Structure 1
């Protein structure tokens, strides 16, 4: 059985929308050293919206874009989706951990004193990290 290995991944990320109610992050990843890697890229979008004073709704989308038709497109898509799914699970885990931490609570308290709408710890931390 072949073991999973690691390889270089080149990713560009862009915050395409940012407001009091939404943060939309678009990213595109290329892995040229995998088989057929020069023929496809993985496009991800993460949409975070304010759901209530204590909740942030997070939607994650993934698409594999092919620059050229290849025989193994099904396997490439399956591998890309598996990798993106793992990333999303870890992202959600870390955001939930932050929201439950004393640091997250302090960020929410600080933001609430700014006389703006109530925000969650997750939103405050993301705003700080994205800019």
Structure 2
């Protein structure tokens, strides 16, 4: 039986005291084998944000990015396959979310941040 691993990542936007700005945060449910150099990014509405996720173990074959709106269940954004390719879910569109791959890194880029990107 072959091993199957899914790495679950959650991003969220949180309000700050500065008008017109939002926080974008990436969190991992497990400490290892995930490396995320920027766990929080401050971005303006209309800007883009890159949430970085690098994996140190070769056994991980699928990475899943989720969005969790405040007090709601997580929504699947995209599943990435280490061998290549991705599947977007729940109306999340490639025109707003892009994937950037390099070595063992699977970064989620949110283009043109809008209010509905907000989550906790």
TM-score bracket for the superposition, by shorter chain length: 0.3 to 0.5
| Higher-strand-fraction structure | 2
How does the TM-score come out when normalised to structure 2? 0.36
Pair member with larger Rg: 1
Which is bigger in relative contact order (C-alpha 8 A, separation at least 6)? 2
